[in-house]
């Protein structure tokens, strides 16, 4: 016995010690095993390490006892006392933040599915809360509000037919400003010319309050900011370049005695830059605030026009104002921009932002505030979860695209929370200042811009949140087809993309150089790129290309459609299609792993068995009642149930429930109450078992539809009684023959072992000599084959039993 060599008696206590105790204090000894350490093979897994040795920092490493240590003696045993102290904390963390990355689920498919389903359930609650927040900040009324303001200030023409979108020069701008703009800003009468009686306030469309006063601002460039060719210097005295920050004019001009003629920086105006069609303009410039009345505003505009406020150096004019609709609690911040390029003429554009800046007014708003609180708790929850996963897996955590997506969602959520607080504080201060000074310009442009970006960020975050669902449904083969296809063909697509974009950008350069001066969709290189994507989708204007260049235009179009649409695009689709076919074929040939339906079926079966056990316990109690007399003592009741396998706690608890007087005796009335309640519980359990059994029977296939009380048995086809008896006799004869052969083999092997000790070594024998053992074994093999040969046959169809070749 080898294990006896590894044990010795302690000279002090007489206890058995392990041999490794004498090695040193730094050695690790498993006191439950005293033989030589076993070699544990490492299994290779592409997801997690399937061994029971967990990475440092994981929950299992902190909270579970250490397994058998197959490593050198430097690894010390864990401190069980420390684990015991923090076991409650670890259990709490494990239950609250247990994920597939914090638990070792590589070798336990059922645990993996259950953990994933738990993650999915928690995440679905988070996703519903995020949807409520996102849609709670928007309103369908915002579209109609924007449409109303657009029709009034953009599409309404002047008596001469000039509307904002048709502005083509400075004269058209003044016509619009003195006509449709002032008419739209100041509403003082009803449609029957009766006064609105709103004092100095203006209610646009009778419902929308004009906040503060409108502002008109312009930016200019310096004279001689560009270089005139030598041949034209005598004829051209001034040169005004396109707009750049460094070429902006900041000198006073004109009347010099007002804000319209004096330059103000963006800091002085609390302004911000604006991205126009031609350039990005600074937040400073020359501005004129209009008044609360239409007459004063008309006089201010006439003064600007008469004193040539707009000149050759003007590059952009902004008209900014804000309105508020209390009916729907929405702000509308409007910016009308007219750009005057260096080529002459005018290019109008506008931006209308309808936003909700005052958040909490109605009951729905306060419900959204509660959802925001829940959202903050979820963000905190996921921060802790991702921190734990990052602590366990280190930088390998970022090797998964889903983990990176988790970090992106959390970061966007944190930015949303911070901006939400900032926006609320900023709006309160701005409204407070506006109420104190109603005649000033209400600058809601900054808040409207960032509120729009905030809404855009929430939209992107919600998109990523929906995409993240694929992370939790990837345990199903069907759900992994998309990700598997894209992952497998990624290299092919990357190689194809290089070839595709070489051809694509070559055609984009060609189109820009051929048609850029005449066709708007080819006027810039960026527009050329989007135009070519539109051609792929069938949206193009061939007539414009043909008119721009009657020879190269058709050649460009035909060759582009042939090479890009017919050749390259179909190659791209072929790569994806072939890869998808391969992935689908492999998935169909793979063995089905444990699925959600299997987990549900198993839970049904477990529930059914528990209900059956409860029913059996009720039957035992009924037997105990029947065995008693008119008065049933606790001792008899206890003895009867103890014989049926019940413990004292259950017996005492059940008896005391019906022993109303506490005398440890059940009289007839108390026994009758117990019988009625037991019958009621028994009927309820029977009904529930029948309902659950029907569900199990409907959900299981033929293979899994077996009796719950007995294990699954193979099916056999019935045979004739005479054939069965004959086959039984043959089987018994075969067993006797095999037993006799085995006895002979044992006898021969014992003799060989005795003779071998007296014989010389077989290695010293000649090459032509055959060992005795080999001759004997060959003889036994031939004898065995001869006796078993009659039994070699094919199974009888439908029975699974063999038919002998001959009768014995």
How far apart, in Å, are the Cα atoms of 412 and each of 388, 423, 458?
20, 16, 8
Query: For residues 386 and 410, is the Cβ–Cβ distance under 8 A?
Result: yes
Q: Is 543 annotated as a binding residue?
A: no
Residue 36: count of CB within 10 angstroms of its CB: 11
Q: How does 540-554 read in b/e, with b if 16+ C-beta sit within 10 Å?
A: beeeebeebeeeebe
Please state, in angstroms and rounded to a whole number, the distance separating the CA atoms of residues 643 and 636. Answer: 11
| DSSP string over 594-655 | --HHHHHHHHHHHHHHHHHHHHHHHHHHHHHHHHS-SSEEHHHHHHHHHHTT--HHHHHHHH
Computed on alpha carbons and rounded to an integer, the radius of gyration of the chain in Å comes to 45
Q: How many residues does the chain have?
A: 808
How far apart, in Å, are the Cα atoms of 34 and each of 15, 21, 185, 308, 608?
13, 10, 94, 104, 44
Please state, in angstroms and rounded to a whole number, the distance separating the CA atoms of residues 274 and 675. Answer: 84
3 state SS of 348 = strand
Please state, in angstroms and rounded to a whole number, the distance separating the CA atoms of residues 80 and 86. Answer: 10
Q: Is 670 annotated as a binding residue?
A: yes
**Helix locations, 700-764, DSSP H:** 721-758
Q: Is 231 annotated as a binding residue?
A: no
**HSE-CB of 525 using CA atoms within 13 angstroms:** 6
Please state, in angstroms and rounded to a whole number, the distance separating the CA atoms of residues 435 and 316. Answer: 31
- Residues near 795 by beta carbon (within 8 Å), at least 6 away in sequence: 801, 802, 803
Q: Provide the β-strand partners of residue 325.
A: 208, 330
Query: For residues 752 and 772, is the Cβ–Cβ distance under 8 A?
Result: yes
Interstrand relation of 314-325 and 208-220 (parallel, antiparallel or unpaired): antiparallel
Please state, in angstroms and rounded to a whole number, the distance separating the CA atoms of residues 607 and 288. Answer: 78
Angle at which helix 490-515 crosses helix 552-560, to 10 degrees, equals 170
Please state, in angstroms and rounded to a whole number, the distance separating the CA atoms of residues 271 and 284. Answer: 6
Query: For residues 780 and 745, is the Cβ–Cβ distance under 8 A?
Result: yes
Give the max Cα distance, the chain: 136
Which two structure tokens, joined as six digits, stand for 399? 């090797």
Please state, in angstroms and rounded to a whole number, the distance separating the CA atoms of residues 599 and 659. Answer: 42
Q: List binding-site positions.
A: 659, 661, 670
Q: List binding-site positions for Ca(2+).
A: 659, 661, 670
């Amino acid at each position: 016995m080898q294990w006896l060599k590894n044990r010795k008696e302690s000279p002090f206590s007489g206890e058995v010690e392990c041999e490794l105790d004498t090695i040193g204090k730094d050695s690790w000894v498993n006191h439950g095993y005293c033989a030589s350490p076993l070699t544990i093979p490492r299994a290779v897994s592409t997801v997690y390490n399937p061994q029971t040795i967990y990475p440092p920092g994981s929950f299992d490493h902190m909270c579970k006892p250490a397994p058998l240590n197959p490593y050198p003696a430097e690894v010390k045993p864990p401190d069980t006392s420390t684990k015991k102290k923090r076991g409650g904390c670890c259990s709490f963390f494990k239950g609250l933040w247990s994920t597939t990355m914090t638990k070792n689920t590589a070798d336990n498919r059922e645990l993996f599915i259950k953990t994933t389903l738990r993650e999915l359930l928690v995440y679905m609650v988070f996703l519903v809360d995020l949807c409520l927040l996102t849609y709670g900040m928007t309103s369908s009324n915002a579209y109609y509000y924007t449409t109303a303001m657009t029709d009034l200030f953009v599409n309404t023409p002047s008596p001469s037919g000039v509307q904002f979108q048709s502005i083509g020069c400075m004269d058209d701008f003044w016509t619009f400003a003195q006509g449709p703009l002032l008419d739209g800003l100041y509403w003082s009468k009803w449609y029957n010319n009766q006064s609105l009686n709103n004092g100095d306030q203006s209610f646009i469309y009778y419902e929308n309050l004009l906040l503060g006063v409108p502002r008109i601002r312009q930016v200019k460039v310096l004279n001689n900011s560009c270089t005139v060719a030598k041949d034209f210097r005598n004829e051209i005295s001034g040169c005004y370049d396109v707009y750049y920050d460094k070429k902006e004019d900041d000198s006073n001009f004109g009347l010099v005695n007002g804000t319209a003629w004096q330059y103000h920086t963006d800091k002085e105006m609390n302004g911000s830059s604006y991205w126009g069609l031609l350039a990005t303009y600074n937040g400073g410039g020359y501005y004129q605030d209009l008044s609360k009345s239409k007459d004063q505003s008309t006089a201010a505009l006439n003064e600007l026009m008469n004193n040539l406020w707009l000149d050759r150096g003007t590059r952009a004019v902004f008209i900014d104002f804000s309105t508020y609709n209390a009916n729907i609690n929405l702000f509308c911040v409007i910016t009308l921009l007219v750009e005057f390029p260096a080529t002459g003429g005018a290019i109008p554009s506008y931006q209308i932002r309808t936003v909700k800046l005052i958040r909490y007014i109605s009951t729905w708003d306060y419900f959204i505030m509660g959802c925001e609180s829940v959202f903050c708790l979820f963000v905190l929850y996921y921060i802790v979860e991702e921190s734990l996963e990052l602590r366990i897996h280190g930088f390998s955590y970022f090797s998964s695209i889903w983990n990176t997506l988790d970090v992106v969602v959390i970061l966007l959520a944190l930015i949303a929370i911070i901006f939400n607080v900032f926006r609320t504080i900023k709006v309160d201060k701005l409204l407070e200042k506006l109420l104190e000074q109603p005649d000033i310009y209400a600058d809601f442009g900054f808040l409207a811009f960032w509120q729009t970006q905030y809404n855009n960020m929430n939209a992107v975050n919600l998109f990523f949140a929906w995409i993240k669902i694929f992370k939790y449904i990837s345990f199903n083969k069907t759900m992994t087809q998309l990700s598997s296809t894209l992952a497998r063909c990624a290299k092919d697509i990357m190689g194809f993309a290089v070839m595709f974009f070489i051809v694509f950008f070559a055609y984009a350069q060609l189109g820009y150089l051929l048609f850029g001066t005449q066709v708007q969709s080819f006027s810039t290189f960026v527009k050329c790129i989007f135009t070519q994507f539109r051609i792929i989708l069938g949206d193009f204007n061939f007539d414009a290309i043909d008119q721009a260049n009657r020879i190269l235009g058709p050649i460009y179009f035909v060759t582009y459609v042939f090479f890009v649409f017919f050749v390259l695009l179909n190659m791209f689709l072929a790569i994806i299609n072939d890869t998808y076919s391969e992935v689908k074929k492999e998935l169909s040939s793979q063995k089905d792993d444990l699925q959600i339906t299997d987990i549900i079926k198993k839970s049904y079966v477990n529930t059914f068995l528990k209900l059956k056990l409860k029913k059996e316990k009720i039957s035992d109690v009924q037997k105990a009642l029947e065995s008693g007399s008119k008065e049933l003592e606790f001792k008899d009741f206890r003895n009867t149930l103890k014989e049926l396998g019940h413990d004292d706690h259950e017996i005492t608890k059940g008896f005391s429930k019906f022993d109303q007087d506490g005398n440890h005796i059940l009289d007839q009335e108390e026994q009758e109450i117990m019988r009625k309640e037991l019958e009621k519980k028994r009927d309820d359990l029977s009904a529930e078992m029948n309902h659950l059994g029907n569900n199990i029977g409907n959900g299981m296939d033929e293979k899994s539809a077996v009796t719950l009380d007995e294990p699954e048995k193979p099916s056999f086809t019935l045979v004739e009684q005479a054939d069965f008896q004959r086959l039984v006799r043959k089987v018994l004869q075969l067993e006797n023959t095999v037993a006799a052969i085995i006895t002979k083999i044992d006898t021969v092997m014992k003799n060989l072992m005795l003779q071998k000790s007296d014989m010389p070594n077989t290695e010293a024998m000649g090459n032509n000599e055959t060992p005795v053992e080999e001759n004997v074994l060959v003889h036994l093999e031939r004898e065995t084959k001869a006796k078993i040969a009659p039994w070699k046959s094919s199974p009888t169809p439908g029975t699974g039993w063999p038919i002998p070749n001959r009768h014995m």
